Amino acid sequence: MKNSIAVRRILAGLTMLVLLAVFYANRCTSTGVNPGEDVVEHDLPLGQWYVRSMEQGSFPLWNFHKAYGIPACETPLMGPYYPGFAAYFLLPLGWAVNLYAMTGNATLTCYYHTAGDSGLPADLCSLLNIKYVVEEITDSGQLERYRQGGFDVVRTMEADDGPAAKRFALLRNQKCFPRAFLIEGASRAEIAAIMPATAGTDSSASPTPVAPAQLWQTLSGYRTVSIERAADTYRIDYVSEQDGLVCLSEMHDSGWKVNIDGVPAEVHRALEHFLGVQVPAGVHRVVFAYRPRPIYLFWTISFLTLVASLGAAVATWRRLAASAPTEAPLVKKEALR
């Protein structure tokens, strides 16, 4: 009986270690970049990699990719980012940990890889809000062309690949949108009219894309606005002489709520992958708050599962302790005089 109790305790300890390991694994991305760290502090995979920084979610921008003929993207969050994915069907705590890793509390750095040697146009990189590009250097004028397109060279790298070494450059896109910006005089309908109309279409179709220059003509008048971040909340203060559109450039998930001066408003997908809200002229405050019901539901399920598991463990331990045989105390018998 004592051996059985010891084995149960060992198994319980190992289970807790596994849960801690799962939690730690899900607080880091598959690329080894921890939440809050800048990607330039780490060595990037060499090749034609496009890096896009987001704070909420990591899903391919299918409309853009289909419209502009860009090959399908690889998203680490749906692959190696989920270690032991099958186990999460049995561990509600694992679901909650995964979802927590995708909330506004964690900064996720996403890498988009495209096949082929030709790079994306600079304007399209900016529309996709791609912040960093790792590009193979094949000629002397390549870096200068990137500089003219609005990219700064962060550093260069070399890699041995067969008989000849290859050189790569890590480039930072200076034309990325700021975290929060205001487009004065713009409306949701106006921007939606010039976006690639590929939603709900067959992936094999060949839609006619809108030239990035036409999109930039509408978006070129944007300006940065004051933004303050709290826990899962962004507060934006702005002053505008006309109605416009306030956007968050690094947000994608649909679990966000927004209010203007305390009055609830409707959240729009301003550029398919940005969150936006139509705002009036004047001096106002816009508050984006992350309120995802699925995450709250999963946290509740996980908490109740954890409480039930602990309660069952305590009840089992008490039952085993009560049913264990007790040894009679040794009684010293006095010798007869």
Please state the rounded mean pLDDT for residues 39-54. Answer: 42
Determine the residue type at 168. F
pLDDT tens for residues 78-123?
222 333 333 333 344 333 333 333 333 333 333 343 433 345 566 6
Q: d(Cα 173, Cα 122) in Å, to the nearest integer?
A: 8
- Give the pLDDT score at 295: 62
Give the CA-trace dihedral at 240, 54, 127, 272, to 10 degrees.
Answer: -80
Q: In sequence order, which residues have a C-beta less than 8 Å from that of residue 269 and are 6 or more positions away?
A: 275, 276
Count of other CB atoms within 10 angstroms of residue 206: 11
- Give the pLDDT score at 264: 92
pLDDT tens for residues 210-235?
555 666 676 777 888 888 877 678 89
pLDDT tens for residues 190-203?
766 655 543 333 33
Q: In sequence order, which residues have a C-beta less than 8 Å from that of residue 206 and are 6 or more positions away?
A: none
Q: d(Cα 234, Cα 236) in Å, to the nearest integer?
A: 6
Q: d(Cα 209, Cα 288) in Å, to the nearest integer?
A: 31
Phi, psi (degrees; rounded to nearest 5) at 3:
-65, -40
- Give the pLDDT score at 174: 81
Alpha helices in the chain (DSSP H): 2-26, 62-67, 92-101, 122-127, 142-148, 188-193, 212-219, 293-323
Q: d(Cα 171, Cα 132) in Å, to the nearest integer?
A: 5
Query: For 6-15, 119-128, 265-274, 326-335, which range has the lowest pLDDT when averaged over its residues?
Result: 326-335
Domain coordinates in residue numbering, the chain: 178-291
More confident residue, 70 or 176: 176
Q: In sequence order, which residues have a C-beta less than 8 Å from that of residue 268 and are 6 or more positions away?
A: 188, 245, 275, 276, 277, 278
Phi, psi (degrees; rounded to nearest 5) at 247:
-125, 150
Phi, psi (degrees; rounded to nearest 5) at 32:
85, 10
What is the domain class of 178-291 according to CATH? mainly beta
More confident residue, 278 or 274: 278
Q: How far is CA 14 from CA 6, 9, 24, 30, 175, in A?
A: 12, 9, 15, 24, 49
Closest C-alpha among 208, 215, 213 to residue 192:
215
Query: For 62-71, 124-133, 193-202, 313-322, which range has the lowest pLDDT when averaged over its residues?
Result: 62-71
Please state the rounded mean pLDDT for residues 255-272. Answer: 81
Share of the chain above pLDDT 90, in %: 6
Please state the rounded mean pLDDT for residues 136-140. Answer: 76
- Give the pLDDT score at 167: 75
Query: pLDDT grade, residue 124 (50/70/90)?
Result: low
Phi, psi (degrees; rounded to nearest 5) at 326:
-105, 145
- Give the pLDDT score at 322: 76
The two three-digit tokens of residue 239, written as one number? 């002053």
More confident residue, 285 or 16: 285
